[in-house]
Amino acid sequence: TEGKIITCQAAVAWEKGQDLSIETIEVLPPRAHEVRVKVEYTGVCHTDAYTLSGNDPEGEFPVIFGHEGAGIVESIGEGVTNVKVGDSVVLLYTPECKECKFCKSGKTNLCGKIRATQGKGQMPDGTVRFRCKGKELLHYMGCSSFSQYTVVADISLVAVDPSAPKDRTCLLGCGITTGYGAAVNTAKITPGDNIAIFGAGCIGLSVIQGAVTKKAGKIIVVDINENKKKMSFEFGATDFVNPATLPEGVTIVDKLIEMTDGGCDFTFDCTGNVQVMRNALEACHKGWGESIIIGVAAAGKEISTRPFQLVTGRVWRGCAFGGIKGRTQMPQLVQDYKDGKIKVDEFITHRHPLKDINKAFHDMHAGDCIRAVITM
């Protein structure tokens, strides 16, 4: 099929706030340094819902969402050397070119090579590979995994062990890697550290997993949804606090400081709520506590705190994709999953065929869903 247009099904977001619509679309062949992938499974992340809602300043329509995808290379464009037809791959919304200033810095996993066009929903040459009903559709986060076939830049995917089940490895494309990496890679938790995690969705539960790996001391989960308690403990949390049930006059910050003899060594925002981000910072230990922002806040939202919080040694930082370099580190994460060192299956609470993808968005809002996996 190399060089030919493929006709397939995809979930199209025609406009903000509307259900996705299953359409027959055309997927153009990959150009130079591009790869066309047969997507087999995709997860649905809170960030897909966020951009669909219209709260993402970069969100434009019509578009094909999805950034937690796993599949098989269908064809490659000129000059592609890192993957070949038939390879099993995981899509990478944080690409890795290995040659830009960011990639070479050794200080970040962010890659600058295609960020500008990716943010506009375009391929690196400024055009798109999707058509439907005579209209061009935009790409999303360099992935667009809600289509049975997609085209991505060659730096936006990584070949992985083909024996690893793709209905699980897709979740390494965002949620699981993001939280795990934030704990292990960004925070660099050390044994005995007391930590608090705000928000026990896929991201927060993955932070627990990283904290357990690093032998943290107290692993305190803070969530307003009581249903998250059981799962938090199953993942290895030592405590669960529902801020809504605290006595009158006791704030979540007071409570965490009391539980940890002065404050947490690390806290993680996995909610995207800016007031929660402030609480997470202020629950850090004076002198050294670090708060890591993972949640994505809506357009126009800003964080604030008294600068005194930083003057007295607390640190505010953040990370994308857990600080993980996808092409370099993903194969090892897949191996760790195969070796039973990191949980993936336990995150999957719902499954749907592509035609029912809107159910995955409704599941997310219902509160009992960690990850829904879509069979393409």
Query: Could you list the active site residues?
Result: 45-47, 67-68, 97, 100, 103, 111, 115, 174, 371
Interface with ligand AHE, residue 94, by CB under 6 A: yes
User: Alpha-carbon torsion 334, 326, 145, 374, what sign?
Assistant: positive
Q: Whole-angstrom Cα distance, residue 83 to residue 73?
A: 8
Shortest distance, CB of residue 319 to ligand AHE, whole angstroms?
9
Binding mask 43-72 for ligand AHE (x = CB under 6 A): --x-x--------xxx--------------
Task: Label residue 21 exposed, middle or buried (CB < 10 Å: 0-12, 13-18, 19+).
Answer: middle
203 touches, from ligand NAD, ligand AHE, Zn ion, none (C-beta below 5 to 8 Å by class): ligand NAD
* Closer CB to Zn ion, 48 or 265, in the complex: 48
Interface with Zn ion, residue 111, by CB under 5 A: no
Which 25-84 residues touch Zn ion, going by CB under 5 A? 45, 47
Region for residue 353 given its phi and psi (left: phi exceeds 0; alpha: psi -120 to 50; beta: otherwise)? beta
Q: Which stretch binds Zn ion (CB under 5 A): 173-181, 210-218, 298-306, 368-376?
A: 173-181
What are the backbone angles phi and psi of residue 118, rounded to the nearest 5°? Answer: -60, -40
295 touches, from ligand AHE, ligand NAD, Zn ion, none (C-beta below 5 to 8 Å by class): ligand NAD
Q: Which residues bind ligand NAD (CB under 6 A)?
A: 45-47, 50, 174-175, 178, 198-204, 222-225, 228, 270-273, 276, 294-296, 320-321
Q: Which of 320, 360, 372, 374 binds ligand AHE (CB under 6 A)?
A: 320
Both tokens assigned to 280: 């997470």
Which residues are CB-contacts of 194 (< 8 A; sequence separation ≥ 6)? Answer: 216, 217, 218, 220, 259, 260, 264, 265
Shortest distance, CB of residue 228 to ligand NAD, whole angstroms?
5
